[in-house]
Homo-oligomer: A and B are copies of this chain.
Amino acid sequence: MPLNRRFTLVRRPSGVPVPEDFLLTEEPTAALEPGQFLLRNHYVSIDPAQRGWMDDRPSYLPPIALGASVRASTVGQIVESRSAAFPVGAWAAGLNAVEDYSVGTEGGYTNLVDPDAVPSITNYLSVVGPTGLAAYFGLLSIGQPRAGETVLVTGAAGSVGSLVGQIAKMKGCRTVGIAGGPAKVQRLLNDYGFDAAINYRGKSVEELVAEIRRAAPNGVDIQFENVGGDILDAGLLAINPKARIVLCGLISEYNSEPRGARNIWELVVQGARMEGVILTHYFDRIGEAVPALIGWVRDGKLRVDEHVEDGIENVLPAMLRLFDGNNEGKMMLRIVD
């Protein structure tokens, strides 16, 4: 049985995670039960959501147990199997953990993937992983964009936001992106085709509202929210009647007490709606989303940026870069090529 390095949670972080919250352990993989298979993880997804799972509070998934590997989406190749449906040599992706090897089970959260269907196997952690699916269902099912509407995307240079902006543009919308710093603003305009881009750094809520109104002269019909805090509050002051606020992430508050939204009164004033994106509610429609996303990538309509760091020992620095906003594209870790 191969040795398995596991990035385990040994203490619940208080605020920003520190090295003492984790331990890199090494132990032989367990023997497989019938119906199980062993996945050699090649790439591990690093996501803001992981920070929430480290807290001891109820969520859409149970907290990561102390002593357990940090939960993560991974993609890899099956190297042992006691399941006919998951043969050795096949590729699979799913919700596993930051570790060399994950044990999968038939009917679990790991599914076979076709490496030839996508430009890169890593795409199963980005555009056809949770990131792309959140963009797809959040924008299309909750946001329901109509041609001519204005879509405001916060965290717009991020892995979800950059896809949302491009899909909204395909749907005929005006796209306005908010991101941190001039370099990201340039990427929004040049790489992701946003019609307008705003740097939120150093700006008050009032200044942000003024910039949003300038960039969205007809008001905001859809706000795709990845950030929260002042940025969410600023957007709420620029929404149109019957606006849809797609709540996908609140990265500004994952390392602190909940801050929430102060300006929810605007939902009453405008008869507007704010709705959370949770992928488990869309599992029955993944068969619709994946071919659409892959099609857009293959047709060159959807630019997908991935930020790959090397080595399981670098998981914490990679995670912290997400919260610093110091990444360019979907963050992931290469365990083995």
Contacts and interface: CB of A to CB of B under 8 A. Distances in A.
Interface string A276-291: 1110110000000000
Contacts of A242: 281
Interface stretch (A169-177, A262-270, A312-320): A262-270
A144 B293 CA distance: 32
A273 interface: yes
Given A242-B281, A274-B264, A281-B241, A60 B269 contact: yes
Given A241-B281, A242-B281, A267 B263 contact: no
A182 interface: no
A275 B267 contact: yes
B268 A277 contact: yes
A59 B59 CA distance: 35
B278 A268 contact: yes
A228 B271 CA distance: 16
B267 A274 contact: yes
Contacts of A275: 267, 271-274
Contact of A250 (B228, B265, B271, B274): B265
A135 to B, nearest CB: 14
B264 A262 contact: no
Contacts of A59: 269
Copies of this protein in the complex: 2
Nearest to A253: B265
Contacts of A263: 258, 260
Contact of A264 (B58, B260, B271): B260
Contacts of A262: 257-260
B260 A248 contact: no
Nearest to A254: B265
Nearest to A58: B269
A270 to B, nearest CB: 7
A216 to B, nearest CB: 15
A167 interface: no
CB-based closest 5 A-B pairs: A268-B276, A267-B276, A260-B262, A271-B278, A273-B275
Contacts of A264: 228, 247, 250, 258, 260-261, 264, 274
Contact of A268 (B250, B261, B270): B250
| Most B Cβ at <10 Å: residue of A233, A259, A275 | A275
Contacts of A273: 273-276
Given A241-B281, A281-B242, A269 B276 contact: yes
B260 A247 contact: no
